[in-house]
Amino acid sequence: MSGAREGKCDGSDLCAELSGAASTEFGRTYQGDPQSRVLLETINFAVVVDISPLVEGHLLVVPKKHYLSFARAMSDYRHEALGVIQKARDWVRKTYGEVTLFEHGSTADQAGGACIAHAHLHVLPVETKRLVAVMQRDALDLSVLPDITGWTDIADGRLPYLLCSDGELSFVALLSGRVRHQYLRSASAEVLGIPDPQWDWSLVVRRDLLRGTVRRYRNAISGLAG
């Protein structure tokens, strides 16, 4: 396997951005407006706006250390991870009315080179039950976890997984084969009415939605401080 071990990153753009590197995809795309998409940081995690949000309020919770799945990061830093997830989830729900968390967790057997599988949990305003319905239609074998802390139960599995949650009840599909590229992102786009392939961040960059999310979050934090 080339360069995708947990704990070590050999060039992921996201890893570089979180470490403060000057030249990153975000920097080239947004040209200093805004200077940063990081909304919140703790010792081991950061909350950032998706580089091309499907909708305003589309966030990512990212471990600063390299992990192949968010479940593994939560296993190591459970209390801290839960606190960061709750803050991101509660802000999205309060601001936009709906919230769903989703992730495609990788394993060492499926990770590619250069840290492309750096774990990140999506948090965005979309109705969870509608996303779950798409997954069921696509014949994914979903198991139910009644509590968010149950995510750590899948941390040591050798199979990659798809996770969808409202922050309380969670649905997990263990994958013995491959699913289509950016499956959960495209499934969320279907729920949101975004046509194929405009959900693909490499094809469509929604700069106005990122900037709007950053402004709204910072205005909310400023209001609390005042």
pLDDT tens column, 187-209: 999 999 999 999 999 899 999 99
Higher pLDDT, 132 or 9: 132
pLDDT at 109: 67
Distances 210 to 37, 168, 215 between C-alpha atoms, Å: 8, 26, 9
- pLDDT > 70 fraction of the chain, expressed in percent and rounded: 90
The CATH class that applies to domain 13-225 reads alpha beta
- The residues pairing with 172 across neighbouring beta strands, listed in sequence order, are 143, 163
Q: What's the CA gap between 38 and 54, in Å, rounded?
A: 17
Cβ contacts of residue 196 below 8 Å, gap of 6+?
Answer: 186, 189
Q: Averaged over 173-181, what is the pLDDT? A: 88
- The residues pairing with 162 across neighbouring beta strands, listed in sequence order, are 104, 173
The answer, yes or no, to whether residue 112 has pLDDT greater than 60, is no
Hey, where are the domains in the chain?
13-225
The answer, yes or no, to whether residue 165 has pLDDT greater than 80, is yes
pLDDT at 29: 94
Cβ contacts of residue 40 below 8 Å, gap of 6+?
Answer: 46, 47, 84, 87, 88
Q: Averaged over 90-95, what is the pLDDT? A: 97
Cβ contacts of residue 153 below 8 Å, gap of 6+?
Answer: 145
pLDDT band at 4 (very low <50, low <70, confident <90, very high): very low
Q: How high does pLDDT run on average in the chain? A: 90
> DSSP readout, 125-146?
SS-HHHHHHHHHHTT--EEEES
Please state the pTM of the whole predicted model: 0.92
